[in-house]
A and B are shown apart, each in its own frame.
Chain A
Amino acid sequence: MIRYLVRRAALAVVMLFGLICLTFVIANVAPSDAAALAAGPDAGRAQIEQARRDYGLDRPLHEQFVRYVTDLGRGDFGRSVATGRPVGQDLAKYFFATLELCLVAMTLGILLGIPLGVLSAVFQDRWVDHGTRIIAVSGIALPPFWFGLLLQLGIASSLGWLPTSGRLSVFTEPAAPITGLLLVDSLLRGNGALFAEALSYLILPAIVLSLPCLASILRVNRSEMVEALRADHITAARAHGVSRLRIVAVHALKNAMLPTLAIIGLRWGWMMSSTVLVETVFDWPGIGLYAVSSAIAGDFKPVMGVTLIVGLNFMLANLVVDLLYGALDPRIREA
């Protein structure tokens, strides 16, 4: 198991390097002059050349690459040419907003998806199954920006139950971050009012983000459960008089959880990298919004930083899934 982990970690380093190369190349072939952007719209030729020298953009490409990689090694993501701020600082701020959104959305997806999947399998082709099929199909089919707008219009605007957008009211001063996750921080400080407010802003975007993920968890879990419930050892357990609840919730579900875990891991990686639409609709200050606004401005250091974070997150998710696989199935652990 440890050897396996080391091998996986080594592989992750190689993949990370590949990712760095790729983002670097893409950022440099993009038709945008970072020096001109850095110097500002009214800058003359001399000022642009000055900015080019300041940011090291006049150096040969391989030299820039080596510098970029060594900086990354020190945890320095470079500076945004548009704002002049260090990308690392921005990422730290925006990443946790996205992480919080994704954590809540994924929790929703898992807590609803797995039980609904189990129920659909147990009551296969009955009304529960048909009902969840409708949820699943709409979860995959509804474009998130449209669904988000509908929720804003209905629940936030017309009914006024929840705020429309943002992470907190503009009048609320968020306390200094401990973990960066508002829900956790407010709880740690014992600030119930802040918790409720953060939650009220979080619910709608989290629902929109969780729907496609809920749909795929539900469908995968359902079909795996149907399969698992047909297994010979389930017949044997029934014949021996094992209780129905125990058969469904432990004997079958444990077998169905392996593929479900795989889809959860994939969905997690995917979710972190596709928050853009939801963050834009709900004006959520996360890395998706940050990456897109930087890209539109032609400012590529933030985009590269976000890509790296998202890629790293994907690898971590896969590693965690592999570990859980081993924990669940002893045959994998021993192989």
Chain B
Amino acid sequence: MTLLSIDDYRLAFDGFEGTAHVLDGITLDVARGETLGIVGETGCGKSVLARSLLRLNPAPPARVVSGAIRFEGEDILAMPEAALRRLRGRRIAMVFQDPAAFLNPLLNIGTQMADVLQGQDSAGGARRRPAREVRARAAALLASVGLPEPERLLDARPHQLSGGMRQRVLIAMALAGEPSLLVADEPTTALDVTVQAQILALIAVLVAERGLTLMLISHDLGVIAASCARVAVMYAGTVVEDAPTATLLGTPRHPYTKGLLAALPDLDNPAHRPRGIPGSIPSLRQPPPGCRFHPRCPIATARCSVEKPLLREVGDAAPSEAALCDEINPMPRDLGRLASRDGKTAALHVGEEETASPRDLDSAALGGLETALPPQAPPPSHRVACHYA
């Protein structure tokens, strides 16, 4: 069943130097219980898209040009303020990139959590809960994300916590309203590698335990491969390819996806030289006409600079112009291994708990990963926005 449906969504940012067409016709459906990864370079519009789901992009300068974002059938873009407040945190919740910046440095954790809980209560028209009840609920939330001594933590300020702990606090806040969709915007980018693995494992456990739908945004294919059953690849404000993770990593169709994979180093084969994609990302103020990737595309034709390719279902059929694309292929093998999603690969990183670990989080995480990933049969859809792929 479709939980979230983004339909030809276009968003522009108006500025002194002109209008930047940041999102250009995003069309994407997310089913309930699905784990969708969104991958792309910096500036391709991933975060803007994520923030659009909660209407967090400041408007102005942001301006919706066209399209709809439906969540459980309701158009988020048309929601009145009151409905929007019931949406935020209670139906869709968000985890952010840099936990140091996304927590208020001057307020202690308890106050920030209480504000979240009480804000959601008042948005939902609920009676104001007594302070002690709110505090107990906040402590329980902190405990549920594996934070030790939650009671003491409530009186701490963000600067007294480690990066991993801060991210756990933010995740606890995101869970406060028991949302059905969790949007994680680069949740591990600002963290150490070992902590990254813990946070990913924690997210996987929470997704499995609570039956959350996950939208994970990252520029790191490895992170996506370890946590998501389906991936959408974005380039310059458009979705260029959308497929089950294993399919996308194994048989990428879009020239940009192939280029991305070819740019990765291959750990098993040091002789493989990672190859970059020639050129650089286009200006969003004057995007190339037609396909936005065509100036850098090895298989572009005259048609690509005129006609914008729409996402179309390609199924498992072999690409017609396969010969043209092989040149920029072959994908590194270790990613293929990650993509096998047997749980063990991803689990390699787990179990190196840096912070004190209560309640056997390690084993829960291991179990969680195994249960989180395989049972969700992603829709066998493979869509590509390319005339020739």
Q: Is B one of A's binding partners?
A: yes
How long is the Cα–Cα vector from A239 to B173 in the complex, in angstroms?
10
Please choose the segment from A29-37, A66-74, A228-236, A287-295 that sits at the chain B interface, where 4 or more of its residues have CB less than 8 A away. Answer: A228-236
Contact of B104 among A243, A251, A331 (CB under 8 A): A251
Do B170 and A237 touch across chains, with their CB atoms under 8 A apart? no
Least Cβ–Cβ distance between A143 and chain B, in angstroms: 36
- Interface positions, chain B 70-111, Cβ under 8 Å from A, are 85, 88-90, 93-94, 96, 98, 101-107
Set A236, A238, A250, A254: member contacting B103, Cβ < 8 A? A236
Which of A232, A235, A237, A328 is close to B115, meaning CB atoms less than 8 Å apart? A237
Contact B116 A240 (CB under 8 A): yes
Q: Closest A-chain residue to B113, C-beta based?
A: A240
Evaluate contact between A251 and B56: CB separation under 8 angstroms.
no
The 9 A-B pairs at the shortest CB distance, nearest first, are namely A241-B89, A232-B101, A242-B119, A236-B102, A241-B88, A239-B94, A233-B104, A243-B119, A240-B89
Interface centre among A233, A240, A251, A254 (most CB of B within 10 A): A240
Within 8 A of A (CB), among B354-387: none
The reply to whether the CB of A330 lies closer than 8 angstroms to some CB of chain B is yes
When chains A and B are docked, how far (Å) is the Cα of A255 from the Cα of B159? 15
User: How many residues of chain B get a CB closer than 8 Å to chain A's CBs?
Assistant: 34
Within 8 A of B (CB), among A266-325: none
In the complex, the chain B residue whose C-beta lies closest to that of A241 is: B89
Contacts between the two chains (Cβ within 8 Å), count: 87
A157 to B4, CA, bound (A): 70
Q: Is B120 an interface residue (CB 8 A)?
A: yes
> Which of B85, B122, B159 is within 8 Å of A330, CB to CB?
B159
Q: Give a binary string over B45-74; 1 marks a CB under 8 Å from any A CB, 0 the rest.
A: 000000100101010000000000000000
Contact in complex: A231, B101 (CB < 8 Å): yes
- The answer to whether the Cβ of A8 comes within 8 Å of any Cβ in the partner chain is no
Do residues B96 and A240 form an inter-chain contact, with CB atoms below 8 A?
Answer: no
- The range of chain A's interface size is 20 to 34
Instruction: Name 19 A/B residue pairs within 8 A (Cβ), A-sorted.
Output: A233-B102, A233-B105, A235-B56, A235-B96, A237-B112, A238-B56, A238-B88, A240-B119, A240-B173, A241-B88, A243-B115, A243-B118, A246-B118, A250-B107, A254-B104, A255-B105, A255-B106, A328-B106, A331-B157
Query: Does A254 lie within 8 Å of B107, measured CB to CB?
Result: yes
The reply to whether B122 and A239 contact each other, CB–CB distance below 8 Å, is no
Verify if A58 is at the interface (C-beta below 8 Å from B): no
Is A329 close to B, CB under 8 A? yes
Contacting residue for B177 out of A236, A241, A250, A330, CB 8 A: A241
Chief secondary structure at chain A's binding surface = helix
Task: Identify 8 new A-B residue pairs, CB closer than 8 A, beyond the known A235-B51, A239-B56.
Answer: A231-B101, A235-B96, A238-B88, A239-B94, A240-B89, A240-B174, A254-B107, A331-B105
Report how far A236 CA is from B157 CA in the complex, Å: 16
Our pick among B51, B93, B107 for the contact of A240 (Cβ within 8 Å) is B93
Complex Cα distance, B23 from A150, in Å, reads: 57
Residue B143 is within 8 A (CB to CB) of chain A in the complex: no
Q: Is the Cβ of B96 less than 8 Å from the Cβ of A241?
A: no
Closest Cβ neighbor of B50 among chain A residues:
A239
A residues in contact with B208, CB < 8 Å: none
User: For residue B112, which residues in chain A have a CB less than 8 angstroms away from its CB?
Assistant: 237
**Chain B residue with the shortest CB-CB distance to A243:** B119
Q: Interface 1/0s, chain B 17-61, versus A by CB < 8 A?
A: 000000000000000000000000000000000010010101000
In the complex, what's the smallest C-beta–C-beta distance from A225 to chain B, in angstroms?
14
Is B264 an interface residue, CB under 8 A from the partner?
A: no
A231 nearest CB neighbor, chain B only: B101
In the complex, A254→B106 CA distance in Å?
7
Determine whether the beta carbon of B56 is less than 8 Å from that of A233: no
User: Bound complex: CA of A240 vs CA of B91, how far in Å?
Assistant: 10
Query: A251 near B115 (CB under 8 angstroms)?
Result: yes
Q: Which residues of A contact B89 (CB under 8 A)?
A: 239-241
B368 CB to nearest chain A CB (Å): 24
Residue of A nearest to B87 (CB): A241
Contacting pair B102 A243 (CB below 8 A): no
Contact A239 B54 (CB under 8 A): yes
Contacts of B123 in A (CB 8 A): 241, 243
CB-defined contacts of B177 to chain A, threshold 8 Å = 240-241
B311-324 CB contact bits vs A (8 Å, 1 = yes)? Answer: 00000000000000
B325 CB contacts on chain A under 8 angstroms: none
CA of A251 to CA of B102, assembled, Å: 12
Tell whether, in the assembled complex, residue A240 and residue B176 are in contact, meaning their CB atoms are under 8 Å apart: yes
Return chain B residues, CB-CB under 8 Å to A241: 85, 88-90, 116, 119-120, 123, 177
**Bound Cα distance A235, B112 (Å):** 13
> Whole-angstrom distance from the CB of A227 to the nearest CB of chain B?
13
Q: Known contacts A239-B89, A241-B90, A330-B159; is A246 also within 8 Å of B104 by CB?
A: no
A residues less than 8 Å from B58 (CB atoms): 230
Question: Contacts of B56 on A, CB cut-off 8 Å?
Answer: 235, 238-239
Provide the residues of chain B in CB contact with A250, threshold 8 Å: 107, 115
Asked if A251 and B96 make an inter-chain contact with CB atoms under 8 angstroms apart, the answer reads no
CA A232 – CA B96 in complex, angstroms? Answer: 9
* Closest B residue to A333 using CB positions: B157
Q: Which residues in A have their C-beta under 8 angstroms from that of B157?
A: 330-331
- Inside 8 A of B96's CB, which chain A residues have their CB? 232, 235-236, 239
Find residues 142-185 in chain B having any chain A CB closer than 8 Å to their own CB.
157, 159, 170, 173-174, 176-177
- Residues 200-254 (chain A) with a chain B CB within 8 angstroms: 230-233, 235-243, 246, 250-251, 254
| A238, B112: Cα distance in complex, Å | 12
Contact B122 A243 (CB under 8 A): yes
Most A C-beta atoms less than 10 A away, residue of B102, B120, B177: B102
Is the Cβ of B116 less than 8 Å from the Cβ of A242?
A: yes
State the CA gap A331–B106 with chains docked (Å): 8
Q: How far, in Å, is A252 (CB) from chain B's closest CB? A: 9
**Which residues of B have CB within 8 Å of A233?**
101-105
In the complex, how many angstroms separate the beta carbon of A259 from the nearest chain B beta carbon?
A: 13
Contact A242 B115 (CB under 8 A): yes
Q: Point out which of A236, A239, A243 has the most chain B C-beta atoms below 10 A from its C-beta.
A: A239
B173 in contact with A251 (CB, 8 Å): no
